[in-house]
Amino acid sequence: MSEKRINMVEKSNNKRQRVNQVPEFNINDHHDVLVEIFRRLDGPSLCSAACVCRLWSAVARNDSIWEELCFRQVSPRPSLSLRSVVSALGGYRCLYFLCIRPVLARLPKVLWTRDQLQLSLSLYSVHYYERLHVGAWLGDAPPSSLMFLRKPVNVV
Amino acid sequence: MKKMKRGHEETWDPPPQPQGEGPSMADKKADDNNNMDELLAVLGYKVRSSEMAEVALKLEQLEMVLSNDDVGSTVLNDTVHYNPSDLSTWVETMLSELNNPASSDLDPTGSYVDRSEYDLRAIPGLSAFKTEEEEGVDEESSSKRIRLGSWCESEGESTRSVVLVDSQETGVRLVHALVACAEAIQQEDLNLADALVKRVGTLATSQAGAMGKVATYFAQALARRIYRDYTAETDVSGGLFEEVLQMHFYESCPYLKFAHFTANQAILEAVTTARRVHVIDFGINQGMQWPALMQALALRPGGPPLFRLTGIGPPQTENSDSLQQLGWKLAQFAQNLGVEFEFKGLAAESLSDLEPEMFEIRPESETLVINSVFELHRLLARSGSIEKLLATVKAVKPSIVTVVEQEANHNGIVFLDRFNEALHYYSSLFDSLEDSYSLPSQDRVMSEVYLGRQILNVVAAEGTDRVERHETLSKWKIRMRSAGLDPVHLGSSAFKQASTLLSLFATGDGYRVEENDGCLMLGWQTRPLITTSAWKLAGATESRR
């Protein structure tokens, strides 16, 4: 019995030695791979992933992931100039949370055509403008032009 | 009251008086009839022993009424009691108030009052109330009648008292009172109007919801008209307050967003290939329309054009330069987006003061756009103003003129017609605000104040003070055509964006977008409320530069 155990211990020692010779693969060392994986997630999964650890939360802030999420259903893919405009207005992540997710939630069957995109972007620009310039002027209340999107619909 | 009943039961049977007593006993008996019941007197209530049975029965009725319907208690709040310890009279007063809740009302339309034995008043405007003959029918009908049961019979009186409490009825009564007051003003019977407007005021406070709010604003406006107390607010702080209110109105409901987005779409379609775009905005306010247009221009295939904005606002005070500050904010926004931007602010008392030279147009290089949201109707207050403005518009040769106006007929000559129109219009507007449960309440309240100021102007002002002279699309079409402008059809893109926008609102089902001969109308339920239209110079080529 003891021999067998010694054998097993020797074998596992050998194995450990063997394994130590190969560098371990850790996904957290490869942020670009992480980004590629996150790009393929849907909204809720992406949000869960962002809650896993600090590293994943930081990686999930990568705007290209959210750009993918925003325009997954849109074809043809919008032009590159859109990227600079949206970045100027606060980025795709905010666009998704403020405008696109509520629209999708409110109108799940909506076809994402240019018009819906244009509308979302218009609302987003108004929000940005308000946040920067008008908010203080209206007193302490934060700008609320998108408030109508945030509250749930009273569906009877 | 239960305690009372118990006390009552205990002393119900008066102690039998032995017969053949001396005069002293007879006297005492006579005294007993006038004396208050002793046990109740200890509790502080004065009830004659002889009336105990009656009082007990009435108390039971009252209890049944109050426990059945809490609305009854609000009706009773207004009754005045002078001597509550006198239980008998107190109960009488309560019951008679319940039976005749409108006993102190004027009957405004002078319609027939049914003084039948059933002690009911016919409510004007409703079909005559048919009372059932049989008793013991104790189920409540849809109008919440409370039937005081069959024990009334034992009283020996045939008071088949019925309490009618129905919030829809008070709404109808409210409308009738408002219209009657307006009629009285139309016929210059100011005393009657004064009495009626007070009536409306009290009725309105008991009416919950949109109807009550509308009625309150209209009652205030009517009162101001009766007392000729309308003062136009011409100070600049009034103008700033107006802008704040309009901002809240912008946040809370889709009307202004609809106006801006549809006008922007029309402008975009007209300037698709222009390298320089000059927009003249007849009412810049806070410039909320332009960030969205700039963003759309930035995304244009081929890159954004040079965007030049001339904003027209009210005259400035010496210290504030709000137009310039607004220009800086918009410039900052444009810079973020990478759009070349120029701004000029023009302060003008009235749009008709504008001359073509003030705009500094560069006709060789730029495409001119004129935009007017809820501004044109103000010019109808002075004759000749609108014609002058439209002549100026023609003189600068714009590629497109976008106009958004209220879809209502508030500029009739007869006051009563205007009043009726306004009542319907603003009722619809308030209704649409009311259903938005998702609103933070400050926005909604300020939006109501914003609309209330319009109501005040439509009803109480006259002459050049009355600037809210809304007209319908058909009238504007005639005006624009006679000034030499032809309609431009708004495309389906604008329609789709508008539909999506409205469906995002919590009460999306109530809003309707309609296309009317190339113009887009936004309405609530079946009533169109605002209209966006676009115009170009007659005879200009359709091809968009």
Contact A147 B443 (CB under 8 A): yes
The band of B134, judged by pLDDT with boundaries at 50, 70 and 90, is: very low
> Are the beta carbons of B426 and B494 closer than 8 angstroms?
no
Q: How far is CA B108 from the centre of its chain?
A: 21
Alpha-carbon distances, residue B316 vs B235, B264, B313, B385, B464 (angstroms): 10, 27, 8, 22, 21
Distances (CA, A) of A151 to B437, B443, B475, B504: 9, 15, 39, 11
Residue B344: strand pairing partners: B310
- Asked if residue B6 has pLDDT above 80, the reply is no
Chain B residues with CB-CB distance to A118 below 8 A: 296, 493, 497
Q: How many CA atoms lie within 13 A of A108 on its CB side?
A: 2
What confidence tier does B160 reach under pLDDT thresholds 50, 70, 90? very low
Q: Which residue has the higher pLDDT, B264 or B2?
A: B264
* pLDDT recorded at residue B263: 95
> Among the listed ranges A44-53, A73-82, B75-84, B535-544, which one has the minimum average pLDDT value?
B75-84
| Contact at CB, A81 and B493, closer than 8 angstroms | no
Higher pLDDT, A115 or B130: A115
Average pLDDT of span B231-236: 55
Question: Is B232:B461 a contact under the CB 8 Å cutoff?
Answer: yes
Interchain pair B505, A148: CB under 8 A: yes
Among B39-43, B163-167, B266-270, B531-535, where is mean pLDDT lowest? B163-167
Q: Are the C-beta atoms of residues B215 and B200 closer than 8 Å to each other? A: yes
**Tokens standing for B74?**
């609000």
* Contact: B497, A119; criterion CB under 8 Å: yes
d(CA B155, CA B153): 5
What is the DSSP code (8-state) at residue B327? H
Is the pLDDT reported for residue A7 higher than 70? yes
Report pLDDT for B377: 93
- Chain B partners of A153 at a C-beta cutoff of 8 Å? 438, 506, 508
Residue A83: per-residue pLDDT: 82
Among the listed residues B253, B256, B235, the one whose alpha carbon sits nearest the alpha carbon of residue B432: B253
Which among A95-109, A117-131, B133-147, B149-163 has the top mean pLDDT?
A117-131
- Contacts of B317 by beta carbon, 8 Å cutoff, 6+ apart: B236
CA distance B337 to chain A (A): 6
Q: What is the rounded average pLDDT of the residues B375-401?
A: 92
Q: How confident is the model at residue B280 (pLDDT cuts 50, 70, 90)?
A: very high
Using the beta-carbon criterion (under 8 Å), do B291 and A132 form an inter-chain contact? Answer: no
pLDDT in tens, B454-503: 999 999 988 888 889 999 999 999 999 999 999 999 989 999 999 888 88
Q: pLDDT tens across A91-114, in order?
A: 888 888 888 877 777 776 666 777
What is residue A134's predicted lDDT score, i.e. its pLDDT? 66
Partner A contacted by B261 (CB < 8 A): yes
Torsion of CA B8, B13, B14, B19, to 10 degrees: 170
Q: Is some CB atom of chain A closer than 8 A to the CB atom of B240? A: no
Mutate to test the interface with A, among B262, B269, B299, B520 (most CBs of A within 10 A): B299
Euclidean distance between CA atoms B192 and B110, whole angstroms? 12
CB A99 within 8 A of CB A112: no
Candidates A133, A141, A148; nearest CB to B504: A148
Instruction: Tell me the shortest Cα–Cα distance from B520 to chain A, in angstroms.
Output: 16
- Copy the structure tokens of residue B156: 């020996």
Instruction: Let me know how many helices (H) and strands (E) chain A has, helices first.
Output: 10, 0
Q: Among partner residues B298, B442, B506, which is closest to A141 by beta-carbon distance?
A: B442
Tell me which chain A residues have a C-beta less than 8 angstroms from the C-beta of B503. Answer: 106-107
**DSSP-assigned beta bridge partners for residue B306:** B276
Cβ contact B369:B400 at 8 Å: yes
User: With bands split at pLDDT 50, 70 and 90, how would you rate the model's confidence at A151?
Assistant: low
> What is the Cα–Cα distance from B427 to A16, expressed in whole angstroms?
81
- The residue that leads in pLDDT, B47 or B478, is B478
Report the percent of chain B where pLDDT is more than 70: 71
**Residues 68..97 of A with a Cβ closer than 8 Å to B: which?**
78-79, 81-82, 84-85, 88-89
Could you tell me where the beta strands, DSSP code E, fall in B33-77? none
**Spatial CA neighbour of A31 closest among A61, A66, A76:** A61
Q: What is the pLDDT of residues B51-95, one digit of tens each?
A: 777 778 777 777 776 665 554 455 555 555 656 667 777 777 777
CB < 8 Å to A152, chain B:
438
A35 to chain B nearest CA, in Å? 27
B534 near B487, Cβ under 8 Å? yes
> Cβ separation of B438 and A82 shorter than 8 Å?
no
CA distances from A56 to A25, A30, A41, A66 (A): 17, 11, 13, 14
Cβ pair B513, B490 in contact under 8 A: no
**Which range has highest mean pLDDT (A26-40, B57-71, B164-178)?**
A26-40
Q: Shortest CA distance to B335 belongs to which of A137, A117, A85?
A: A85
Interchain CB distance below 8 Å, B493 and A118: yes
Q: Is A65's pLDDT higher than 90?
A: no
pTM exceeds 0.80, yes or no: no
Of A54-63, B14-23, B144-153, B215-224, the least confident:
B144-153
Are A118 and B505 an interchain contact pair (Cβ–Cβ within 8 Å)?
no
DSSP B420-464: HHHHHHHHHHHHHHHT-TTS-HHHHHHHHHHHHHHHHHHHH--GG
A133/B337 Cβ within 8 A: no
* Residue A126 contacts B, CB cutoff 8 Å: yes
Contact B333 A132 (CB under 8 A): yes
Q: Cβ of A64 under 8 Å from any chain B Cβ?
A: no
Contact B244 A89 (CB under 8 A): no
In the predicted structure, residue A139 carries a pLDDT above the cut 80? no
Rounded to whole angstroms, the Cα distance separating B99 from B159 reads: 10
Using the Cβ of B338 and the Cβ atoms of chain A, whether some distance falls under 8 Å is answered with yes
Of A110, A126, A147, the CB nearest to B440: A147
